[in-house]
Amino acid sequence: MIYTKTGDKGQTSLANGQRVAKTDARIEAYGTVDELNSWIGALRVVAEEAQLEWIQNKLFNLGALLSEAPGEWITEPDVNQLETWIDEMQAVVPPQRSFILPCGGEAVSRCHICRTVCRRAERKMIEANADTIAMCFINRLSDYLFVKSRWIAYNNQEEETAWKKV
């Protein structure tokens, strides 16, 4: 049964069974991570890649960690994997000479949305006192998404729009 009625009064359970308000910082954090995961799914529609599926699975792991499920959910090798992918993409794209407006084709624009939701998730995780490796992972993921937007633009021969003070 999908409904339990246990959350009807604004409370929910963490994975460890603790009941908390639905506005608890941990719920806000993993709710935002869940939103990010949905946006990554929307990105996959137009930029299907095994990397993005891996990221979606890791975001579910991150949600488990934030909901205080026992176990090792995010590890240093996960952070290292993101860094490897970032380095590989940065080796291809031209050097960045200015701030870039968050726009472009469909895939590039979705990357930028993912990146900004990722940054919000990071802020929510700070409020929830997330552990260090989780913070490293989400911070590196936002970097990955920025570089991924540039990499997609480059591969699709889309011109990036530089910010201009007006």
SS3 label, residue 155:
helix
162 beta partners: 100
Between the alpha carbon of residue 156 and those of residues 51, 99, 108, 150, the distances in Å are 18, 20, 10, 10
Residue found by looking up tokens 């992972």 in the block: 137
The stretches in the chain having pLDDT less than 50 are: none
DSSP designation for 100? B
pLDDT score for 84:
98
Residue 101 pLDDT: 92
Range list of β-strands (E), 19-152: 19-21
pTM: 0.93
Q: Residue 123's pLDDT is what?
A: 98
pLDDT value of residue 92: 97
b/e code 85-103 from CB counts within 10 Å (16+ = b): bbeebeeebeeeeeebebe
Phi and psi torsions of 100, nearest 5°: -115, 130
Topology (CATH) of 17-155:
Hypothetical Protein Ta1238; Chain: A; (1.20.1200)
Q: Domain residues of the chain, as ranges?
A: 17-155
Distance CA 45, CA 114 (A): 13
